[in-house]
Structure 1
Amino acid sequence: QGPVLLQQLALLPDELPPYGSAAYLHLLIENCKLAMADREAWYGDAAEVPLDDLLSAAYNAERRTLAGPRASHELRPGSPGGRTPRLAAHARVVATDEPGFSPMGAGEPTVAKSPTSPVPGEPEVSADGGTRGDTCHLDVVDRWGNMISATPSGGWLQSNPVVPELGFPLGTRLQMTWLEEGLPNSLTPGRRPRTTLTPSLALRDGVPVMAFGTPGGDQQDQWQLHFFLAVALRAKVRGGLDLQGAVDAPNWHNDSFPGSFYPRGMRPGSVTVESRTDPEVVEELRRRGHDVTVGDAWSEGRLCAVARDPDTGVLSAAANPRGQQGYAVGR
């Protein structure tokens, strides 16, 4: 779903509200809904993806007008190049309060589950050295500027059989396809499913300067957008910008689109923010029509990043402090 991140950037107006303000968060949330609706209608390997149109300036200028002053509770895919969008019949199923129902499904929950949960949860190491988890992320840069960004997922050793002749487990990403025929993401022989994985590289004048990413299912491109803009805007986080400050900044996500994991529901208008978010910002989001849930202080985002200044060769790195799941190291 990597183009979702690019489309969210393409949807931004020339002038942005102040970083961290309610107007800023509202804009990013509404743009995310538009990009995710396009993901649902157009992404997949079973049909042509009109990527050039989806990322074009003209298309996103038109889409940008849909982000109004109030929170949208609708799934609104666009018509890139005049094409007619088609959604799965299940796409507009709204999440319920039934036990065990989560819009994120069982694949990549927002926070690590308890040891008694049947859901693997995110990577975690217990005091006795035991491990459990699924998706992880790593970024590497060397002194010459070679960069790697990787988000391994979908072939978990804890639950999947290893193919003896190959040495790696079977994948689990076919769960993201639709069984309804005729969709870009329909289950089709010889075709790959759309996935949530978005390891990212940022370039300046064609030169790689930063590698970044995160686990987190449908949250990946939401959390990355907030992080990337904090870096690009040189936002004053913790008194001054650095990679770690951008990672640490209070983050958020919304579930106003079909989840990628079973049972594939959505929560129209929902937004979850960390409790470190300014209470006045939270109240203003609610006045704008968002259904805001205030989560734990350090619960949104699993980002890590590495960077290299091409002018000086200085290397830097940052890791997510949430859940004690990441480390930044150098030599």
Structure 2
Amino acid sequence: MFTTRPTLQGTFGMVSSTHWLASQSAMAVLEGGGNAFDAAVAAGFVLHVVEPHLNGPGGEVPVVFAAAGDGGRVRVLCGQGAAPAGATVEHYRSLGLELVPGTGPIAAAVPGAFDAWMVLLRDYGTKSLAEVLDYAIGYAERGHPLAPNVTATVEAVRELFEREWTSSAELYLPVPRPGALFRNPALTATWRRLLAETAGLSREAAIDAARRIWREGFIGEAMVEFAGRPAMDSSGRRNASTLTGDDLSGYRAEYEEPARYDWNGWTVCKAGGWSQGPVFLQQLALLPDGLRYDSPEYRHTLIEGTKLAMADREAWYGDAGEGGAGESVPLADLLSREYNDERRELIGETASFELRPGSPGGRKAVLPEFPVEGAELGLGLGEPTVSVDGLTTRLDGSTRGDTCHLDIVDRWGNMVAATPSGGWLQSSPVIPELGFPLGTRLQMAWLQPGLPNSLMPGRRPRTTLSPSLALREGEPVLAFGTPGGDQQDQWSLHFFLAVALGGLSLQEAIDAPNWHTDSFPSSFHPRTTQPGSVTVESRVGEAAVAELRRRGHLVTVADPWSEGRMCAVARDPWTGVLSAAANPRGMQGYAVGR
């Protein structure tokens, strides 16, 4: 089978990420004696620099990983911050809001990415803070050739920057041309000052000191001061964040046990119900016995299973009981054989246009009152929303903000999958002293009380970020993931089944034609839904499109290379052979290894 590039193989180390400079920086760390955790942290900070429209230090990151010599144990590190103490439904309603805006400081959760990277480096890495930051500092200080999508994103929000977000205009305007060397002096100064203030300390002490500086030192002070300044957001008004110093000082990235599901000899591990990760597991649980890869009923069955799992996401997922308040997410019932045998019967011969959550353990589902069907497409489709009344700043599918991903495996068997996101340049003004904006993750919480994902102080907004790690016979063998918001646990499932069910290589599975449905409420402002919709790459072929339409799906045929941004690495624990592959779509994904 022809592939766009080879599946890399070797025995030393493998990296796959959404940007070539991050991948090569991670590989340089491995070549310098570092392990997969050192490499992941270095790559994460490089992604902040080279993909500022996709992630930043003010955003968040979930990490799923397995450490060599830990008996195949998989852990999740949650770098998703919670809602500030002042972020109440009553406060937002008092501002005349029905939804949390998709842009601006008012949508900021407590930033979680920095602390998560530091905790991972301290507990599992071997390199110093200065060593892992060196690559990001180099690209911020000396410049990096700008990817075309960064230019397109800045151009899309140029008028907003000029009229309202002047601190962003100072950094990003005039719009830089693709390939031009782009520098971020303020971010360079931030990281250099951080290193200066932690110099002379031991490796672990320096990392913990950096965490304190982020929360309570010059970085934390600048974030809180800037967050309190009202700025234009997608409500068409100027609002400030509720973020305070107490919110920052109280945050700690924490380890958790993963949600997991055994299927066909595989065990797949995901973040818990505060993320959409278990949607992947529910879709596996809904698969009928004997389903053949790429058979005539294959796509229809997966699409209908996605709708059922996403309906349950809307009814049952959130931080309730997992750092929040109320009953915990009923994952045991949602993944039980009895529940999924019953739910599977709802998959008929034709497409469903309904949102049909189940009743796990006899519970009664309560759904959000939004979104409004038929809301204008192009406004908030994907992540993040960039639209302000009176300012023409709308992004289409080719330039909207998104997310990053990285996967790494080293010669010792350490394996990491991480999905950094948030803190997008087009979603909130740049903090001028620091060189990066805050995130806007609170847009994923509802301003309707009584839901698992209702806005509540101290509760993490349910995120779409969803890295994956899979085991065979108790051994970690595959780390994978993709950007894509609500599409993440669709595209990644299709990739996994291509490997696990279809027997394809990593690169074959990434290159295979992909698709997604939007037949459920979007996680992003303004929370639209498109019942019955399916978007497919034209490469699926006319016969597959005709079959989906025959079954009643509303099919949009997209460009041949438009669906998915997959990254993947693998390890055969019985031979020691490592492998990696990367996505050709978007012309940024890059795998490297030997």
Same fold (TM over 0.5): yes
Q: Is the 8 A contact 1:45 1:193 kept in 2?
A: yes
1:6 correspondence with 2:274: no
Residue 67 in 1 paired to residue 337 in 2?
Answer: no
User: What letter matches 1:260 in structure 2?
Assistant: S
1:204 corresponds, among 452, 460, 472, to: 472
Matched, 1:94 2:94: no
Given that residues 121 and 134 in structure 1 are in contact (C-alpha distance below 8 angstroms), is that contact kept between their aligned partners in structure 2?
no
Q: 1:94-130, CA deviations, whole angstroms, 9 ceiling, x for partnerless residues?
A: 134x36346536449xxxxxxx9544977x8xxxxxx
Conservation of the 8 A alpha-carbon contact between 1:134 and 1:153:
yes
Greater RCO, CA 8 A, separation 6+: 2
- 2:508 corresponding residue in structure 1: 245
Q: Which residue of 2 aligns with 1:238?
A: none
Aligned ranges 1:211-230 → 2 under 5 Å: 211-230=479-498
The structure that has the greater radius of gyration is 2
Asked if structure 2 preserves the Cα contact closer than 8 Å seen for 1:256 and 1:268, the reply is yes
Q: Which amino acid aligns with 1:2?
A: G
Contact 1:198 1:213 in 2 (8 A): yes
Match of 2:522 in 1: 259
Residue 13 of structure 1: CA displacement?
Answer: 1.2
Gap change, CA 1:99 and 1:121, over 3 Å in 2 = closer
1:179 equivalent to 2:453? Answer: no
Q: What secondary structure is seen at the aligned counterpart in 2 of 1:328?
A: strand
2-structure distance, mates of 1:210, 1:258: 30
1:79 is the counterpart of 2:359: yes
Per-residue CA deviation, residues 36-72 of structure 1 (Å, 9 max, x unaligned), is: 0000000111342111111111111110000011100
Q: Residue 156 of structure 1 aligns with which residue?
A: 424
**Could you tell me how far apart the structure 2 residues matched to 1:251 and 1:100 are?**
21
Match of residue 51 from structure 1: 331
Identity rate, percent: 73
Question: Do residues 269 (structure 1) and 532 (structure 2) align?
Answer: yes
Q: 2:578 aligned with 1:303, yes or no? A: no
User: Is it true that 1:190 corresponds to 2:190 in the alignment?
Assistant: no
Which structure dedicates a bigger proportion of its chain to helix?
2
Provide structure 1 residue ranges, at least 5 long, that are not aligned to the other structure.
109-115, 125-131, 236-240
Structure 1 stretches of 4+ with a deviation exceeding 3 A read 98-108, 116-122, 157-169
From 554, 559, 581, the counterpart of 1:291: 554
**In 2 relative to 1, CA 159–143 (structure 1 residues): closer, same or farther, beyond 3 Å?**
same
Q: Are residues 119 and 296 of structure 1, via their aligned partners in 2, closer, same or farther at CA, if it must alter by over 3 Å?
A: same
CA–CA separation in structure 2 for the residues paired with 1:101 and 1:161: 19
Which residue number in structure 1 is paired with residue 309 of structure 2?
A: 35
Q: Is the 8 A contact 1:304 1:326 kept in 2?
A: yes
SS state of the match for residue 539, structure 2? coil
AA partner of residue 365 (structure 2):
P
- Aligned 8 A contact 1:135 1:154 in 2: yes
CA–CA separation in structure 2 for the residues paired with 1:183 and 1:286: 35
Root mean square deviation of aligned Cα: 2.3
Report the secondary structure of 2:356's partner residue.
coil
Specify whether residues 120 and 173 from structure 1 end up closer, same or farther in structure 2 by C-alpha distance, changes over 3 A only: farther
CA 1:118–1:102: 2 relative to 1, 3 Å: closer
Q: Could you say what secondary structure the match of 1:203 adopts?
A: strand
Cα distance in 1 for partners of 2:377, 2:338 equals 44
1:268-319 Cα shifts (integer Å, max 9, x gaps): 1100000001211110110101000100000001001000001101010000
Aligned partner of 2:152 in structure 1 is none
- Partners in 2 of 1:39 and 1:22 — Cα distance? 27
Instruction: Identify which range, 50-59 or 132-141, moves more after superposition.
Output: 132-141
Q: How does 1:88-167 map to 2 (within 5 A)?
A: 88-91=368-371, 93-96=372-375, 98=376, 100-101=378-379, 103-104=381-382, 106-107=384-385, 118-119=394-395, 133-157=401-425, 159-160=427-428
Paired residue type of 1:30? E
How far 1:160 moved relative to its partner? Answer: 4.0
* Whole-angstrom distance in 2 between the partners of 1:188 and 1:222: 28
Deviations 1:4-60 (Å, cap 9, x if unpaired)? 0000001111110x3223300000000000000000000111342111111111111
In structure 2, relative to structure 1, the CA distance for the partners of 1:99 and 1:69 (3 Å cut) is closer
- SS in structure 1 opposite 2:357? coil
Q: What's the offset of the Cα at 1:205? A: 1.7
Contact kept in structure 1, 2:427 and 2:439, CA below 8 Å: no
